[in-house]
Amino acid sequence: MPEAALYRLPSFSVSLPTMTPKPVLIALAAAAIGFGVTLPTGLELDARLSLFAFGIAALLWATTKIEVGYVALGAAVFLALTGAIEQEKLFDALGSKIVLLMIGTFVVGAAAEESGLAARLSHLASSKVKNVRGMMWFSSMVLVPLTFLIPSTSGRAALVLPMFKNLTDAAAMPAVTRAMALLIPVVILVSAIASITGAGSHLIAIDLLAETTGQRISFGQWVLWGLPFALVTVAITIWTVSKMFLTNAEQNTPVKVDLPEAAPMSSKEKQVLAVFAFMVAFWMTDAFHSIEIATVAILGALAVCAPGVGVITWKKAAKAVSWPLVIFVGAALVLGEAIIDTGAAQWLISAKFAATGLESGASNFAVIAGLSFVTLTAHIYMTSHAARTASLLPPLLLLAAELKIDPVAVAFLTTVGINYCLTFPVSSKALLMFQEMDSENRMPADLFRLSMILMPVHLLLMVLFYFGYWSHIGLSL
């Protein structure tokens, strides 16, 4: 029935312009946000403007397909133009060390691909495959070291697509292709916590932590806390996917991948490997010297692009940088810092604190369970990985101050939970890329089923890791 027919009256008809409900609801929600920020007493205008910009950005991130970087940059410019923040804050964020770290690691990642080193990793995994079960384990374990090299889950997904095609073509079984199209992007997401460079959201987290509290997480600390958790979750993911989507007979099916014999490692590959080893060595020892991790990344980028002796030209490497992601990170930092500096986040947390009745004496179990639940489910209503960090972490850090708990622990645990984004394909670009590989187009239903298993498992793992491991090695609430 045409929409206009709903407005038909006995004596005459009225034809109204068609408008889908979603834009109307978004407009009403935006108006509600605008009205809501005028209600609190005791808030300065700058804080109200920050709350408005933050609320509109979160609304658009959660309900529209507008690029998250465009939304964040627009909100940041709004704050600068209205005087809520100094314009220099905008410029400083877009040129921050976090942005430089991302650029440097993207360039080194491009050099790894250009030299053939990345392809060698895929070749290594493929050559070890004997059956479908081995295919799942070897391909997944190749993804873990890539978290140290490429600071983008979608970047890693794009890099391993050729490996996926080689393996699934060799298996030549629709059920295996379906399972692998699900497994690889999920492993990319759950293994991201292994390294600070595992996702752009991690870089936002450590910068917001430093801005809010003056504290920081070293590269080595992050690996000590995150790598074991990543390995355990990867193993559980492999086992769960294999049991849910493949029979035992399918898992044991022999697979022979026809690959050309690997050539000896080239000088370019050795050069990139040496640069990467240098970077990781300095990152892991950043607590013992004064060289920032961003500086190390830029040095690595300069080395692989050195004129005449480098692996890749600077122009080509620059094209490999995900500039939309870089701009988003810079703009998101402006938003996060604005709601902190203006006192808006403090007001939000105080209001929430009073409403919940939480006290500083709340048990660690209650805090970790509540934090895990909030962060693990955030991807359901906010699809951008980095946007979740920019939205959730500042108020959670202030909640940590209210509860008198360690903000470093809150920042890391929040990041662990935020990394989980498996329920729907739209929750991650990596999932969307592999959805196209699923010829039966069953990924949405498969992901939902898988997430209903892995989400409670992930929550339980966070609690177990906290009490059984993290709290004993310096990560304690």
- pLDDT surpassing 90 at residue 358: no
Per-residue pLDDT, 287: 64
- Extract the tokens encoding 227: 């790598």
Q: How far apart are CA 121 and CA 273, in angstroms?
A: 12
Query: Taking a C-beta distance cutoff of 8 angstroms, is the pair 342, 394 a contact?
Result: no
Gyration radius of the chain's alpha carbons: 24
SS3 254: strand
- pLDDT surpassing 50 at residue 268: yes
- Select from 73, 55, 58, 30 the least CA-distant residue to 347: 55
- Across the range 55-83, mean pLDDT stands at 84
- pLDDT surpassing 80 at residue 70: yes
Tokens 């295996």 locate to: 176
pLDDT band at 239 (very low <50, low <70, confident <90, very high): very high
DSSP-derived secondary structure letter, 287: G
SS3 422: coil
- pLDDT surpassing 90 at residue 176: no
Measured between alpha carbons, how far apart are the two ends of the chain, in Å? 58
Render pLDDT for 380-415 as a digit per residue (tens, 0 to 9): 766 667 777 877 787 788 777 777 788 888 899 989
Helices (H), 191-310: 200-213, 219-245, 248-251, 267-284, 293-304
- Extract the tokens encoding 19: 């408008």
pLDDT band at 433 (very low <50, low <70, confident <90, very high): low
Q: What is the pTM of this model?
A: 0.67
Spatial CB neighbours of 423, under 8 Å, sequence gap ≥ 6: 379, 380, 447, 448, 451, 455
pLDDT band at 7 (very low <50, low <70, confident <90, very high): very low
- pLDDT surpassing 50 at residue 1: no
The chain-wide mean pLDDT, for the chain, equals 79
- Select from 70, 155, 154, 83 the least CA-distant residue to 118: 155
Q: How far apart are CA 321 and CA 319, in angstroms?
A: 5
Q: How far apart are CA 322 and CA 353, in angstroms?
A: 38
- Across the range 414-439, mean pLDDT stands at 75
- Exposed / middle / buried, residue 212 (Cβ in 10 Å: 0-12, 13-18, 19+): buried
- Across the range 167-191, mean pLDDT stands at 85
pLDDT band at 227 (very low <50, low <70, confident <90, very high): very high
- Extract the tokens encoding 37: 């920020």
Query: Taking a C-beta distance cutoff of 8 angstroms, is the pair 139, 184 a contact?
Result: yes
Spatial CB neighbours of 159, under 8 Å, sequence gap ≥ 6: 109, 113, 118, 146, 150
- pLDDT surpassing 60 at residue 10: no
Q: How far apart are CA 88 and CA 85, in angstroms?
A: 8
Per-residue pLDDT, 262: 62
